[in-house]
Amino acid sequence: MHTSPAANLADPVLALAGRQPSAAAVITGEATVSFAHLNNLVGKAAARLRQSNGETFGFRFKDQFLHLVFVLGAFRCSAPHVSLFANWPDSMGVDLVAQTGAGILFGDEAWTGGGEMHVVSLAALEGDAVPADETLPQSARDGRLLYVLGSGTTGKPRIICYDATNLAAMIARDLSVRPIGFQERYYSLVRFEYFTGKRRTLGCLAAGGTVIFTEFPVPATAIYDQLGADHLSMVVGQAEAILDKLDGDGPRFPKLKSLVVGSSPVSETLRQRLRDGLSPNLFIGYGTNEFGEATFAGGETQMAHPGSLGFPAPGVELKIAGPDGTALPAGTTGEIHLRAEGMFSGYLNDPEATNAAFADGWYRPGDLGALSEDGALVFQGRVDDLMIRYGTNIYPREIEQTLEAIEGVRHAAAFPLTSKNEWQIPVAAVTLVDGSGTQADLDHFCNELTGICDERLGPKAPAHIWIIKHMPRNEAGKIRKNDLAALVAKEMNR
């Protein structure tokens, strides 16, 4: 059974509550919540939102289930809203509230970061005497329903605006490639307040699946063993943490129908470890918060096209463009352009950035790539990361893939340092699978890495390579190359 997301993303819950009221919608803690029960709670949340007379709402919940209920409630009454991150610094929440104009906040604990705060518990909502609101939604202001932080790796993230049509098309695209069957169970290690966690959770419910929430650190292995998850989603760091604790042979999750790993490039070495150690049904891809998933690669595609991020999802147009916007031939690196239903509605209060993100109807994420002869995407890094040295274009992923293919290297990040004469010097930092050993051992291995890069990359080889303990990453798991460059510069000045 498959249900396509409706224009109002709370409608599938209402529909399933009518057709399959006892079907499991959410497993949270030790409780299983039916679609009928979830629908009743969503209606009560919608009623609270309507009674508060707010224009834009902020949600700041530690309890993911309660957060879901209020997000669906906001969709039901077409209320623009933004999710705050309870575990982030207060300053970030204050900034989000100010930028989005969220004058009224709902959450499960008091917070003084701005707006009028309404503290609510699940028990209070359950016993709410206010009748559940199941009326038809009204039009949202400017059509905007959801504000999301961009997932950029440099600078201050912009705020992305979505409407119901954007989200519904994006979710339908996800389900067309990785379908979730009726009552199949989905567990994400990416929390609901993140846009990826939110989008895939809503997709699971739209398909009639069952979402699993945990509110404290629980190993994914325990969730799989105890609750029989059919689909798992996680970022690269989380996947590596699971792999590092494995003590048996063969896939740890043999019955999984999909294992989605993303947020940052997945090296060939890591892909093989994931297929061997966790599940052969590994999915990787390329996408952005603004666009959603653009390409997908299942196991067969990964084997046939090593290093690629797969083929465009159904309904997605992808081209590699030159400076004038014309499509480049296969094998030529250029700027990635995307087009499909479900693209974002623009950046909040930033028309200049919104206009720059589009060219003749194409979305420009600011990334570099190339296509194989049959159309598989090979990611080459950010446009801003392109290095030019003595007239030679050097793409970060060329260096990173070369280093990550060397035994003992876990992650690599290439970036430029600017010399005194303003030339861009390509350099790289790596983390190791085993970072133990004497300084002499590390220096020797670093020299080996430099020699291999010189041999394989020639004039594109990094001038310097540093071994570091950890890559600086943002909250979405992406490497912050600005921070990395600052870290390396500090090391150089010691």
Q: Which amino acid is at 374?
A: D
- The whole-angstrom separation of Cα 171 and Cα 168 is 5
For 24, the 3-state DSSP assignment is strand
Last residue of a domain, one of 377, 395, 419: 377
Q: What is the CATH number of the domain that holds 444?
A: 3.30.300.30
Domains in the chain, number: 2
Q: What is the pLDDT of residues 200-236, one digit of tens each?
A: 999 999 999 999 999 777 889 999 999 999 999 998 8
Sort 386 into a burial class: Cβ within 10 Å, 0-12 / 13-18 / 19+. middle
In a domain, 260, yes or no: yes
Mean pLDDT of 327-349: 90
pLDDT band at 102 (very low <50, low <70, confident <90, very high): very high
pLDDT at 345 > cutoff 80 = no
Q: What is the pLDDT of residue 406?
A: 92
Structural domain boundaries enclosing 283: 11-377
Q: Does one domain contain both 395 and 363?
A: no
DSSP 245: T
Q: Does one domain contain both 296 and 401?
A: no
Q: Does one domain contain both 141 and 206?
A: yes
Q: Does one domain contain both 449 and 391?
A: yes
**Lowest mean pLDDT: which of 3-17, 270-284, 393-407?**
3-17
DSSP 191: -
In a domain, 239, yes or no: yes
In a domain, 265, yes or no: yes
Contact 151, 367 (CB under 8 A): no
User: In this structure, how many other beta carbons lie within 10 angstroms of the beta carbon of residue 225?
Assistant: 12
Q: Does one domain contain both 100 and 205?
A: yes
Higher pLDDT, 374 or 144: 374
- Within 29-164, strands assigned E span 31-34, 57-60, 81-83, 104-107, 116-119, 146-149, 159-162
Q: What is the CATH number of the domain that holds 219?
A: 3.40.50.12780
In a domain, 5, yes or no: no
In a domain, 312, yes or no: yes
Q: Does one domain contain both 438 and 483?
A: yes
- The whole-angstrom separation of Cα 67 and Cα 194 is 11
pLDDT band at 44 (very low <50, low <70, confident <90, very high): very high
Q: Does one domain contain both 429 and 372?
A: no
pLDDT at 188 > cutoff 90 = yes
